[in-house]
Structure 1
């Protein structure tokens, strides 16, 4: 029985050869797109605040006020943490790298310290500690500030702030100046948020030029909640 020959229409052979040449390239492009999508998804998981959507709001200052007494005592014990520290991470690292570092250190400190409210000892109701294993809000903030300064962030970009929660409780957070805006690193949430979106009423904040000096916050306003 004779083998039937497949009829080939004019131009069909050249079209098949063209597809054979193009398919490897198409597959390569698809693979690259899938890889880019995977990387974008991974980056989004580490980047809770997309740079394009970041407001540039800064905490508005009013007049200079007395620092919290516990912070004044902290500065006597740790003068190096209350001195002006230089450095500027922006020229050396991309905004994405800086944001990733903020997220990483915020998560690490929130994980490493076990929450514990200060007790009254020798008449001192509140003690601000460095390198605490157990501590409350300001101990978290101090540790985050220390780690970020050790990574090259200047002291002017890392300021402690005292606030009131929506329930009226006193609280403290670290405010990081990033891409012109002020963002809160908080032990009550792993999400880094613009200060206006924390839901807190801001009371006092450290000076940019002198870490031992504090200012009241002008017309403090609370934004969204902590959901």
Structure 2
């Protein structure tokens, strides 16, 4: 029952766009850090229940990194970063959306994952990570597992970097099955 009520609230916020504009000055990070269980944050679990095709695993857990893949990652990272106007979700409801016109870091992450899967990358190599930035802010990024290291696609920068070079502290990350977190 609790999950049904939560899903209804999240759906209503997504449908009617009632986002608190007072938080627009910090548009790229998470206002409220959710607890990350073995199934991910509750808001992500709701996203997967509503959008099960977006949460499917499959393919290799790591991909081979070559020039074509790097160009694809750069193109998708840049396109999604430009396409979504940054705006935080309400602290009362954290919402994950694929390709919205406005959204916070969570929507950037699932949009990039969606586009990369559509372009042929293995879903199991595309991981969602909850992190803390250097200044302690909660944030979400997409981590691409490659044989050459874990690359980070981030809406705070256009540069794709190895995760260990971001300065972020990992809070939780999805596994090869995005519905399983560690």
- TM score, norm. by length of structure 2: 0.75
- The secondary structure found in structure 2 opposite 1:139 is helix
1:85 and 1:79 map into 2 onto residues whose CA distance is: 13
Q: CA 1:133 to 1:201, structure 2 compared with 1: closer, same or farther past 3 Å?
A: same
Structure with greater Cα Rg: 1
Asked if residue 160 in structure 1 is aligned to residue 128 in structure 2, the reply is: yes
- Structure 2 residue corresponding to 1:77, chosen from 50, 70, 80: 50
What stretches of structure 1 of length at least 5 have no aligned partner? 1-63, 216-227
1:188 and 1:109 map into 2 onto residues whose CA distance is: 12
Q: CA 1:144 to 1:186, structure 2 compared with 1: closer, same or farther past 3 Å?
A: same
CA contact (8 A) 1:161 1:206 kept: yes
1:88 and 1:211 map into 2 onto residues whose CA distance is: 11
2:59 and 2:40 map into 1 onto residues whose CA distance is: 22
1:186 and 1:164 map into 2 onto residues whose CA distance is: 13
What stretches of structure 2 of length at least 5 have no aligned partner? 1-36
More RCO (CA 8 Å, sep 6+): 2
What CA deviation, in whole Å up to 9, does each residue of 1:94-132 have, x standing for no partner? 700110110010000000000000015xxx421111121
Report the RMSD for the aligned CA atoms in angstroms. Answer: 2.0
CA contact (8 A) 2:60 2:125 kept: no
How many residue pairs get matched? 146
Q: 1:186 Cα shift?
A: 0.1
Match of 1:117 in 2: 88
1:213 and 1:88 map into 2 onto residues whose CA distance is: 13
Asked if residue 132 in structure 1 is aligned to residue 132 in structure 2, the reply is: no
Asked if residue 147 in structure 1 is aligned to residue 109 in structure 2, the reply is: no
1:89 and 1:70 map into 2 onto residues whose CA distance is: 26
Q: 1:180 Cα shift?
A: 3.5
Q: CA 1:101 to 1:89, structure 2 compared with 1: closer, same or farther past 3 Å?
A: farther
- Structure 2 residue corresponding to 1:65, chosen from 33, 38, 51: 38
